A and B are shown apart, each in its own frame.
Chain A
Amino acid sequence: MNPETLKQEAYTDIEACNNLQELEAVRVKYVGRKSELTLALRGLKDLPLEERRNAAPKLQQARKEIEGMLASKEKELASSKAEAKVDLTRPGTRHAFGHLHPLTLMEKEVVDIFTSMNFSVIDGPEVETEHYNFDVLNIPANHPAREMWDTFWLKGGNDSRSRKLLRTHTSPMQVRYMETHTPPLQIIVPGRVFRYEATDASHEINFYQVEGLMVGRDVSLANFKYVIEEFLKKMFGPKTEFRFRPSYFPFTEPSVEVDVRLVGGKGEQSESLRAIAESRKSEWLEVMGAGMVNPKVFEAAGYNPEEWQGFAFGVGLERLAMLKYKIPDIRLFYSDDLRIINQF
């Protein structure tokens, strides 16, 4: 018997074992009481001294190694047996997890971008007076400019400071905030606003805006462009392209409208923007109205327009959320269907 050949054979047999029973049979075969190896070891005493001295270490070594191989295989088989008891392919148990409304998520995203640029976040009243909603913003009574804002009026009141309405925009907070704070300042005002109009896929009687206002000694339109481009890049991707167009709001002068490019140009729009382009068949999408604060608004707030200047903007949260989450109908935001909410 050649111990080296025996080791080779034992190794092949041990590796072929699939379970502990088979391994036991192999153990008996190679190191059992009646195995060739055991018998050979037992027979050593009958050998001449010279021969014994030569064979003994080889046989003992072979036994030790085979026992080592058996032990290691046994460990391997035992552990795979334990694994078999746990089925890790079972799906994880479901834990209750709630969902924030998509408009909450959107507002959070907008607010976080602006707070990262040192804007304060302010809340304002939803029931407003005619005075703050219109008069101080240079939107006189009996002027068709007011038709830009279809208004819900509350009963009662006999002058513009006591006549109440549901704010048609978050802009009244520009003056309310400036009345009680000294510049320089930069704020955003997220909140619900209201329009008296028929609802359809893109119009609701209540919706959300985020107002922005920055006032300083030399805050300029170029500064506005920077702040808003940073905002839109964080929102829609670093390669978003913009354009600024003239517009008209009684409370800003100059007034601008901001568009983001959906297709064309350098062609590096985010996927969500390209998807909108497809559904809208347009190259640009209007995302906000803005401008340099009209000196009349500063006067109404008690600031000296010779000393201060700044920009203001208003952005619709639903529109951003519709773009970002591909929601086709504004009315879905105000349905109470959890099957929709739970997607966010």
Chain B
Amino acid sequence: MKFSYSLIKEFVPQLPPKKKLVEELNLKAFEAEVLAGDALDISLPANRYADAASHWGIAKEAAAIFDLKVSLPAGFGRAVNLPSGNKLFSVKVEDPALCLRYDALLLSLEKKTASPSWLKKYLEACGLRPINLIVDIMNYAMLETGQPLHAFDYDKIAGDGRNKKIIIRRAKAGERMEGLDGKTYNLSAGDLVIADAEGILAIAGIKGGKRAEVDSSTKKIFIESANFSAPEVYATSKQLNLVTDASARFARDLSPELAEYGAARAAYLVKELSGGRVLDSFEYYPKAAKGEIIGFSVEKAASVLGVSVKKNESMAILKKLGMAILPSKNERFDFLVQTPVLRRDLQTTEDLIEEVGRIYGYNNIPSRPPHIYLKPAETDDILVAKRRARDFLRNLGFSEIYSYSFFDKPSSDWIWSSSPKEKTLLEIQNPIASDKKYLRGELTSYMLAALQDNSRHFDELPIFEVGKVFSAAGERFHLAIGFGSKDKPASAALKGVVNQLLLSFGITEIFFRPSGSGSTFIEIDHNVIGRVSVVDGKDQRAIAELDLEEIKNASSEEFEYRALPKYPSISRDLSLEFDNAVPVGDILEEINRAKVEHLWDVDVADYYDQRRFTLRLVFQAWDKTLRDEEAEREAASIINQLKRKFSFVIR
């Protein structure tokens, strides 16, 4: 919010220079910045609009920080001696929950003048555009007091005398209003509006209407200084997608007490600058707002802040901030504090401790190591698994990417699961882009893009990602591994990586089960935990995606020593040439079925194509030296087993 340094200085004549003010505001109150010319930018938190969204408010804060006095200009304060009951208008608040206070003033305008240059200068420093004297006064009085004000042209309000009726009500469905900005606003049933007999005059606390606009021919003005329910203004402003100076303030819960200051200041300025006269006034204020009485404990403050601020010093700080100190009968408290009625943010002891702490200065609080109970620190298992998988893949030469959590629904089958819940994607209600309507259900699509995007720059692409995927069944960490190569089969390389990765987690029972063209499931303990897919048809790019939670659950740290073999092993290479293409997986499965006693390991030693490859069989006995004939016999029984299913010759 923009402020004028010289206007703040009018309230605190001894105000230090701009740079010093901004420095101390930063350290003790609000984030502030020096802008060009006379202007300052001060970021007010949502809970301080009530008292500080005004030059008066900042002046009070500065006075407390620098230990200075605030001096109010003439005509600033509570309204006094206003004529009332002249029956020149009437006001009706239909729902007391919507409007906490409604002060109204009727003034005649005697002479027409333009806004004086000092007034324009202040408005411009605060980023407001001068319009005409009356509108400028309303805005200026808001800048000074923090109270939004609105002036209507009295003669344009429907009716005469007491029949000129202002109604604070909810809009009906289909009602509309032309705003001062010339735009038409379509209201929804329930929006809070100011109306007369003919319809809507203003959207309460947000925007004035064109119909009762003040212009150069206006003779009498009706000034509204009200307090509308903060949640109502906020809801209407959101519904209309319309944020104004006034709505931003009302939505942040102003005190109804402020209305009186706004009305009095506006009336004074109109009288001074336009020679006007108050003809009538009205006040609706059923329940007066009061400050809070809160207990303060010096010991509690010391415990929270970690530094002992003396009782007298705490009292002095709170007094500087406009609080009254009262004695406490309750032993828990050293004294009671009555908060200023405008400080709506002060509700609890902790709020007061914050006030003492910030004015005392957070930088004056020492750093002190905490005393702790020595309880072993723990790391969630899934985070440990993430780190292990990442380190493993990195050491294997893979590089890590991070992708967005959003994606476009993929056209094909995106997840291996058959559970309907796991196949249901979560949809964003307010997506930021049309290709980001869903939470990603897998990591494969982004990995596919990464292989494509990087292919120009690298001959070999080892990539991985660890991240959450989402479905109606919940969210889980997945691991995607992509591999692209110009000269070796990508799927075989990836299967090797997956195998080693799982082994590194202590998982040994790993099966790859074909799941359709170009893809194979990864199973541990008959449970599908992932999939390896060839993604280009040529086996130059393949992607594996695995469920990291399943890996974590299956992981085991139980290693056990096994004596080294005492006797030599025997290797036999079988070079096979099949009549038709066969999956190596089927051959290996068939070899397992042969159940030969001493077969210790089988590997593909050489792979020429789908018809021709060489298997290396390793035979090992643990209790004796295997004889050649025994190995030959077992190899022959393996060949016999294969012959039953496949047609091949041994080369």
Q: What residues make up the interface of A, taking CB atoms closer than 8 Å to B? A: 95-101, 103-104, 108, 111, 115, 118-123, 125-127, 142-145, 147-148, 152-155, 164, 166, 184-186, 190, 192, 194, 196, 205-206, 214, 216, 218-223, 225-227, 229, 243-248, 253-257, 292, 294-295, 309, 333-334, 336-339, 341-342
Which residues of chain B (180-203) have a CB below 8 Å from chain A? none
- Identify the closest chain B residue to A336 (Cβ): B450
Pick from B28, B374, B453: contact of A337, CB below 8 A. B453
- Identify the closest chain A residue to B48 (Cβ): A248
Pick from A126, A184, A220: contact of B304, CB below 8 A. A220
Pick from B354, B367, B397, B426: contact of A127, CB below 8 A. B426
Asked if B463 is at the interface of the complex by the 8 Å CB criterion, the answer is: yes
Q: Do A223 and B377 form a contact, CB below 8 Å, given A101-B400, A155-B428, A341-B401?
A: no
Q: Determine how close the nearest CB of chain A comes to the CB of B247; give it in whole angstroms.
A: 10
Q: Which B residues touch A247, using CB under 8 A?
A: 31, 45
Pick from A219, A245, A338: contact of B370, CB below 8 A. A219
CA distance A338 to B371 in the complex (A): 45
Binds A, one of B358-366, B410-418, B556-564, B597-605: B358-366
For the complex with contacts A121-B380, A152-B431, A248-B47, 14 further pairs of A-B residues with Cβ separation under 8 Å are A96-B397, A96-B462, A104-B390, A118-B374, A144-B248, A154-B427, A155-B426, A155-B429, A185-B375, A194-B405, A196-B430, A218-B371, A221-B357, A295-B350
Pick from B372, B405, B430, B446: contact of A118, CB below 8 A. B372
10 pairs, CB–CB < 8 Å, chain A vs chain B: A96-B397, A154-B429, A155-B429, A218-B371, A222-B307, A245-B27, A248-B47, A254-B304, A295-B350, A338-B401
Number of B residues, CB within 8 Å of A: 89
Asked if B14 is at the interface of the complex by the 8 Å CB criterion, the answer is: no
Chain B interface mostly:
mixed
Q: Determine how close the nearest CB of chain A comes to the CB of B42; give it in whole angstroms.
A: 13
- Identify the closest chain A residue to B451 (Cβ): A336
Pick from A121, A192, A219, A220: contact of B378, CB below 8 A. A121
Q: Is the beta-carbon distance between A245 and B429 smaller than 8 angstroms?
A: no
CA distance A278 to B317 in the complex (A): 38
Pick from B45, B380, B432: contact of A123, CB below 8 A. B380
Q: Which A residues touch B647, using CB under 8 A?
A: none
Q: Is the beta-carbon distance between B351 and A253 smaller than 8 angstroms?
A: yes
Q: Is the beta-carbon distance between A153 and B430 smaller than 8 angstroms?
A: yes
Q: Is the beta-carbon distance between B390 and A246 smaller than 8 angstroms?
A: no
Pick from B235, B377, B464: contact of A120, CB below 8 A. B377
Which residues of chain B (153-212) have a CB below 8 Å from chain A? none
CA distance A220 to B234 in the complex (A): 36
Q: Which A residues touch B29, using CB under 8 A?
A: 246
Which residues of chain B (371-394) have a CB below 8 Å from chain A? 371-375, 377-380, 382-383, 387, 390, 393-394
Q: Is the beta-carbon distance between A246 and B400 smaller than 8 angstroms?
A: no
Q: Which B residues touch A143, using CB under 8 A?
A: 46, 230-231, 234
Pick from B366, B372, B446: contact of A184, CB below 8 A. B372
CA distance A342 to B405 in the complex (A): 22
Q: Which B residues touch A243, using CB under 8 A?
A: 27, 362-363
